[in-house]
């Protein structure tokens, strides 16, 4: 009840939130979306492994999508993940995937951020982080699987789901969890003012995990 009243007080001042995370209406949140969207774009482009059966490619961009959501939550995670990944598709000439990527990677970042809910976590890593990236990764795998069935057929889609499941899914989870361990707590301690502009702080909440 205390958290709800706190959120309402922020909303009454014109700072509306989504489960305690600020919408991209302040300069810092917009800047973070741009910075981590660019990071996602770069990691999606380099390196890349083409998959001729579906005219797609395997990449490590999911690590950036997951990491962004684990650090900053669903708003920054979804927008940076969706926009950055779709931009990489366009730049690399895989424009046929860009609309689906915008939705799938955006949804991946949203779900990872909602499940992990970093505004409630003070630890370097939490069990919710593991659940979040596991489910977020499955959204990516099955999202592209469904899209590729529609545009290329079942046989081609099955080829990529194996690669996405074994390579991209595993690398995304492994890298994001490995990087979040040294980053989360150190960043929150070093730059608390940054996170205060991304989500409603719960540093004084006795239920902080």
Given a cut of 50, whether residue 7 has pLDDT beyond it is: no
| 144 Cα distance to chain centroid | 16
At 182-201, the pLDDT tens digits run 999 899 889 999 999 999 97
Q: Which of 9-23, 126-140, 153-167 has the lowest mean pLDDT?
A: 9-23
Mapped onto helix, strand or coil, the DSSP state of residue 39 is: helix
Q: Per-residue confidence at 33, pLDDT binned at 50, 70, 90?
A: very high
What is the reported pLDDT for 35?
Answer: 98
Give whole-number Cα distances, 156 to 86, 141, 159, 168, in Å: 21, 14, 5, 17
Is residue 139 within 8 Å of residue 104, measured between CB atoms?
yes
What would the two tokens of residue 17 be? 């939130």
What is the reported pLDDT for 63?
Answer: 96
Distance CA 77, CA 110 (A): 6
Residue 39: CA atoms inside 13 Å, Cβ hemisphere, count? 19
Q: Is the peptide bond before 47 cis (omega within 30 degrees of 0)?
A: yes
Average pLDDT of every residue of the chain? 89
What is the reported pLDDT for 137?
Answer: 96
At 58-104, the pLDDT tens digits run 899 999 999 999 999 999 999 999 999 999 999 999 999 999 999 99
Is residue 135 within 8 Å of residue 115, measured between CB atoms?
yes
What is the reported pLDDT for 207?
Answer: 52
Q: Per-residue confidence at 2, pLDDT binned at 50, 70, 90?
A: very low
Is residue 121 within 8 Å of residue 207, measured between CB atoms?
no
Is residue 76 within 8 Å of residue 33, measured between CB atoms?
yes
Distance CA 45, CA 68 (A): 17
C-alpha closest to that of 125 among 184, 77, 61, 175: 184
At 90-140, the pLDDT tens digits run 999 999 999 999 999 999 999 999 999 999 998 899 999 999 999 999 999
What is the reported pLDDT for 203?
Answer: 54
C-alpha closest to that of 73 among 84, 81, 61, 85: 81
CATH topology of domain 2-196: Arp2/3 complex 21 kDa subunit ARPC3 (1.10.1760)
For tokens 């684990």, what's the residue?
A: 70
Is residue 115 within 8 Å of residue 78, measured between CB atoms?
no
Question: Residue 200 region, left (φ>0) first, then alpha (ψ -120 to 50), else beta?
Answer: beta
Which residue ranges make up each domain of the chain?
2-196
């Amino acid at each position: 009840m205390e958290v709800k009243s706190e959120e309402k007080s922020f909303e009454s001042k014109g700072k509306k939130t989504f489960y305690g995370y600020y919408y991209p209406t302040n300069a810092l949140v917009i800047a973070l979306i741009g910075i981590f969207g660019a990071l996602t774009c770069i990691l999606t482009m380099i390196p890349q492994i083409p998959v001729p059966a579906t005219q797609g490619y395997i990449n490590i961009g999911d690590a950036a999508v997951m990491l962004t959501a684990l650090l900053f939550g669903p708003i920054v995670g979804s927008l940076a993940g969706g926009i950055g990944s779709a931009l990489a598709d366009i730049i690399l000439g895989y424009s046929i995937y860009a609309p689906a990527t915008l939705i799938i990677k955006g949804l991946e970042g949203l779900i990872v951020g909602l499940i992990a809910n970093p505004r409630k976590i003070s630890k370097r890593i939490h069990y919710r982080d593991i659940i979040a990236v596991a489910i977020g990764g499955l959204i990516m795998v099955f999202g592209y699987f469904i899209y590729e069935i529609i545009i290329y057929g079942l046989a081609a889609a099955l080829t990529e789901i194996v690669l996405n499941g074994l390579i991209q899914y595993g690398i995304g989870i492994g890298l994001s969890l490995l990087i979040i361990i040294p980053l989360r707590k150190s960043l929150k301690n070093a730059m608390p003012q940054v996170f205060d502009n991304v989500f409603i702080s719960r540093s004084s909440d006795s239920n902080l995990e």
